[in-house]
Structure 1
Amino acid sequence: MGDNGVVTEHLDVLVVGAGLSGIGAGYRLQTMTPNRTYAILESRDSLGGTWDLFRYPGVRSDSDMMTLGFPFEPWNEPDAIADGGKILDYLRETARKYGIDQRIRFGHKVVGASWSTPDARWTVTVEHGAERLELTCSFLYLCSGYYDYERGHEPDFPGRDSFEGRVVHPQFWPGDLDVAGQKVVVIGSGATAVTLVPALADRGADVTMLQRTPTWITSLPRRDRVRDIVQRALPVGAGGTVVRYKNVLTTMAFYELTRRRPKVARSLLSKGATRSLGSATMVADHFTPTYDPWDQRLCLVPDGDLFEALRSGRAHVVTDTIETFTPHGIRLASGRELDADVIVTATGLRIKLAGGIDIVVDGERRATRDLTVYRGTMFVDVPNLAISVGYVNASWTLRSDLASRHLCRLLTHMEHHGWRIAVPRAPEGMAARPLLPLDSGYVRRAGDELPHQGDTAPWLMRQNYLLDRRDMLRGDITEAMSFSR
């Protein structure tokens, strides 16, 4: 017991979050640094993170599962784009198979972390029900993603209280909602909206996607035929690696095309949408944004399910702005009225980096907006703390796994040399740049809270798996780092 009666326990590494990143971190810690003690603290009552929280109809991966899945436990289901329930089952099974689930402490919400240089350790404050605990650790690893799990982005729509139907945010989808025979308006045009619209249409709803501005959308096959051929020809491990790199290189190539030849990328996406919809006019009116592809996140629809729902008349799209909610629907700026029994506000997520944890270093609070990243895994002048953040232009797991392996390399180096403290140090006068290369609404809204990146390696938060793999797995682990005992 501590002086105030709180329970104290020391571990070598504390991992915060039991989603994709936390489960992957557990595997890397127990295989690459097996002599270290670790625990995973999860605020919710179940593992899975995003895939346990989001239960809206049609929820699915927006990356292929050969790269979203763990490299140490290849995805073996036939679908390359998987439903959320299957992903959650995969995470549960992986955690059980490697004993990672035995390291998870559910209902443990981390609310604060305070570093002491004289003690070379973090004191982590945890809420567990009505009890407040303190744990200490030599290294703190934040695998809590960057979404606010407690609330989504909810614009203040005029007249909302006058609407007599039901208003639902996808992040908190009610299990009792039956949309069959209902008129449903989905507000939004991002990844959640384009997933919901065909799924609700399949459930018998008359669905309208109401968007303020269009989004770039691409269709990919739900089944990866190349993967099917490779897996018949090669053993599971080798085949998985081949397909994984095929998908990495394909994704990187298209992203580079959007950066270097945006007009070509626009043309390719528009032609693909026209083929799927059978209407160049509809594409021009509703699926041709003013921005270039990947200035905001590109939306994926497997087997063109959104386009098929629109073409068949089971769903509709309207591009307009909202004037006000009415008792029976929404009145638009154009004067048009959309009748609705249910309105779904697929208006986006809120970013909360580091899980909103209050970080204090030697008595000084360190706000995330004042921090600069190091290799995208640590922060300048913050000792013995790492963070797992995925890519915005590719699979989350690609980068989160690199972060965990880099951390294990660092821990091994510290052990070999007897170091107790590792902290990145930046050169004087280094230019600061925005962390994420997107102009998406959720990024703009969080602009004042996000850390910064520098203008050169190792201070860049790159969106390039091959370069990151080289530097994080084989680069100089001591570069720009200060070590002490």
Structure 2
Amino acid sequence: MTEHFDVLIVGAGLSGIGAAHHLQARCPDHSYAILEARDAIGGTWDLFRYPGIRSDSDMHTLGYSFRPWTDAKAIADGPSIRRYIEDTAREGGIDRRIRFRHRVTRAAWSTDDARWTLSVDTPEGPREFSCGFVMMCSGYYDYAKGHAPEFAGAEEFAGRIVHPQFWPEDLDYAGKRVVVIGSGATAVTLVPEMAREAAQVTMLQRSPTYVVSRPAQDRIANWLRARLPARLAYGLTRWKNVGMGMFFYRMTRKQPDKVKAKLLGMVREHLGPDYDVGTHFTPRYNPWDQRLCLVPDADLFASIRAQRAEVVTDTIDRFVPEGIRLASGRTLPADVIVTATGLEIQLMGGADLVVDGETVRIADRLQYKGMMFSDVPNLTFTFGYTNASWTLKADLVAMYGCRLLNAMKRRGLRQCTPRIGAGGMEAEPFVDFTSGYIQRALERLPRQGVKKPWRLNQNYALDVVALRFGSIDDSTEFSNPSPLVRTAA
């Protein structure tokens, strides 16, 4: 038997729960279910359990537009974010719509039937679900595997090697020597947290990343919340932080050298004039060519000053029984090695996509408004900003999807499809970002065009105008009248 819904949401993480809320509020007459591959709500915030896991942006923008974040800390720990998502699902009755351990393996569209058929692996075996519209909220990386380069001699290492994406519950690192390989958000989170208990923690990086300290608490947000209604205080803080983020990003594009000098000057203030900032905290690229790493209350710098943690910039020759031998000849002693080497990007949760019998290769399609694919009907996907909080874009994508659903119902049509048109469109890479996880996946990502609506804005204010208030008919073909409309005609 194939179970049918008006809408199927894939994924019960931050994006999926948000999409369900908007769907209930804006399209209350549409039936829906959420298909979640894992056995819990939360997505990223349930999967990652490594020490110190926290947000890498403020919760006033990472939180939902419709549900104020009221905790004092704006840079929140993972368990608090997971509870926030779970509470949102429970209070809205969304949790009752979730089918856990339902992994979508294939989504096939039929124009004749105006519906998607989803092949799903479940604990009871393979099943099929059908719907008129799919909201893909499955995230952007592979939950089953992280990026794990092969290191020569790894089998010789006498200690334990772990990847942050699969943190073992039984790992005891108290009093031990730890080497964390990596320089991204995960590494700068792990190092100060593990340094609280470990004998020594070394962050081993091939090249530096921009690291910026920010207070864990937003004093202005807390001041506003104490004096104004929660929603008003939250909204004002949200736009304050959005505006500050947009201003800073614009400055990095216009005056990269000036911003770079400012960022490095802040690091020197934390670490002192004698620290080798040039070697360990000065990247070869400009700010926001890759995502900046945020450290709350300068915790990373504090652990370095206290000599509980060390940053080493070098390349790995090989693992040896006692630790890691570097290209420089130095050996880093280790009892535990943490490979914080990144993610593997995977769109659509790895599901195959088929339209009218033809397999769709996402890399051959243009993205549309950062949320749909050319010539793929009735499907949205969520991919957040590279220069701002994920949820800012996720909220807009969900609201735009609801606009499409309501427009189709109002017009008596069953299909909306982004079309490039006869003139074609010059294509460029999906995002202009040099981070390793993006560069490794370029051949699997969609492309973007050189003109709107086929070009990514990477600008929340512009997307608010385009997705909340802009036309839904630009480069979108509405078609496929419902049988009732055909009969009436």
TM-score, normalised to structure 2, is 0.97
**Does residue 338 of structure 1 match 2:361?**
no
Question: Which residue of 2 is the match for residue 246 of structure 1?
Answer: 240
Question: Which residue of 1 is the match for residue 4 of structure 2?
Answer: 10
Question: Which residue of 2 is the match for residue 4 of structure 1?
Answer: none
Q: Given the alignment, which residue of 447, 467, 471 partners 2:466?
A: 471
Question: Which residue of 1 is the match for residue 485 of structure 2?
Answer: none
Which amino acid in 2 is paired with 1:120?
A
The one-character-per-residue Cα deviations of 1:278-306 (angstroms, maximum 9, x if unpaired) are: 13542112000110011111100001110
1:75-474 matched pairs, under 5 angstroms: 75-279=69-273, 281-427=275-421, 428-474=423-469
**Does residue 483 of structure 1 match 2:478?**
yes
**Does residue 37 of structure 1 match 2:31?**
yes
Structure 1, unaligned runs of 5 or more? 2-7
Give the drift of 1:235.
Answer: 1.3
- Distance in 2 (CA, whole Å) between partners of 1:268 and 1:438 is 22
- Distance in 2 (CA, whole Å) between partners of 1:386 and 1:280 is 51
Asked if structure 1 preserves the Cα contact closer than 8 Å seen for 2:45 and 2:81, the reply is: yes
Asked if structure 1 preserves the Cα contact closer than 8 Å seen for 2:178 and 2:198, the reply is: no
- Distance in 1 (CA, whole Å) between partners of 2:65 and 2:31 is 23
3-state SS, counterpart of residue 61 of structure 1: coil
- Give the superposed CA RMSD: 0.8
- Distance in 1 (CA, whole Å) between partners of 2:240 and 2:478 is 39
Give the drift of 1:462.
Answer: 1.7
- Distance in 2 (CA, whole Å) between partners of 1:232 and 1:290 is 43
The one-character-per-residue Cα deviations of 1:223-245 (angstroms, maximum 9, x if unpaired) are: 10111222223211111100000
Which amino acid in 2 is paired with 1:464?
N
**Does residue 69 of structure 1 match 2:63?**
yes
3-state SS, counterpart of residue 167 of structure 1: strand
Which amino acid in 2 is paired with 1:377?
M
Give the drift of 1:203.
Answer: 2.4
- Distance in 1 (CA, whole Å) between partners of 2:124 and 2:398 is 32
- Distance in 1 (CA, whole Å) between partners of 2:148 and 2:424 is 39
3-state SS, counterpart of residue 118 of structure 2: strand
Segments ≥4 residues shifted beyond 3 Å: none
Which amino acid in 2 is paired with 1:473?
R
Give the drift of 1:430.
Answer: 0.7
Which amino acid in 2 is paired with 1:121?
R
3-state SS, counterpart of residue 296 of structure 1: coil
Which amino acid in 1 is paired with 2:451?
T
3-state SS, counterpart of residue 307 of structure 2: coil
Structure 2, unaligned runs of 5 or more? 482-489
Asked if structure 1 preserves the Cα contact closer than 8 Å seen for 2:45 and 2:82, the reply is: yes
- Distance in 2 (CA, whole Å) between partners of 1:171 and 1:324 is 23
3-state SS, counterpart of residue 482 of structure 1: strand
Give the drift of 1:387.
Answer: 0.6
**CA 279–180 in structure 1, closer or farther in 2 if over 3 Å, else same:** farther
The one-character-per-residue Cα deviations of 1:162-186 (angstroms, maximum 9, x if unpaired) are: 1110000000000111111100000
The one-character-per-residue Cα deviations of 1:298-354 (angstroms, maximum 9, x if unpaired) are: 100001110110011010010000000001100000000000000000000000011
- Distance in 1 (CA, whole Å) between partners of 2:22 and 2:376 is 23
State percent identity of aligned pairs. Answer: 56
Task: Tell me how many residue pairs correspond in the alignment.
Answer: 479
Asked if structure 1 preserves the Cα contact closer than 8 Å seen for 2:177 and 2:198, the reply is: no
Give the drift of 1:437.
Answer: 2.0
**Does residue 50 of structure 1 match 2:44?**
yes
**CA 147–394 in structure 1, closer or farther in 2 if over 3 Å, else same:** same
Asked if structure 1 preserves the Cα contact closer than 8 Å seen for 2:103 and 2:120, the reply is: yes
- Distance in 2 (CA, whole Å) between partners of 1:19 and 1:387 is 13
Which amino acid in 2 is paired with 1:13?
V
Give the drift of 1:205.
Answer: 3.8
3-state SS, counterpart of residue 161 of structure 1: helix
3-state SS, counterpart of residue 345 of structure 2: coil
- Distance in 1 (CA, whole Å) between partners of 2:454 and 2:374 is 9
- Distance in 2 (CA, whole Å) between partners of 1:205 and 1:9 is 56
3-state SS, counterpart of residue 13 of structure 1: strand
Question: Which residue of 2 is the match for residue 5 of structure 1?
Answer: none
Which amino acid in 1 is paired with 2:454?
W
Give the drift of 1:377.
Answer: 1.1
- Distance in 1 (CA, whole Å) between partners of 2:448 and 2:218 is 36
Stretch moving more, 281-290 or 328-337? 281-290
Give the drift of 1:370.
Answer: 1.1
Give the drift of 1:129.
Answer: 1.9
- Distance in 1 (CA, whole Å) between partners of 2:432 and 2:197 is 37
**CA 206–233 in structure 1, closer or farther in 2 if over 3 Å, else same:** same
- Distance in 1 (CA, whole Å) between partners of 2:42 and 2:205 is 30
Which amino acid in 2 is paired with 1:189?
S
Give the drift of 1:433.
Answer: 1.1
Which amino acid in 1 is paired with 2:216?
R
- Distance in 1 (CA, whole Å) between partners of 2:173 and 2:138 is 33
- Distance in 2 (CA, whole Å) between partners of 1:54 and 1:46 is 12
- Distance in 2 (CA, whole Å) between partners of 1:382 and 1:349 is 27
Give the drift of 1:130.
Answer: 4.7
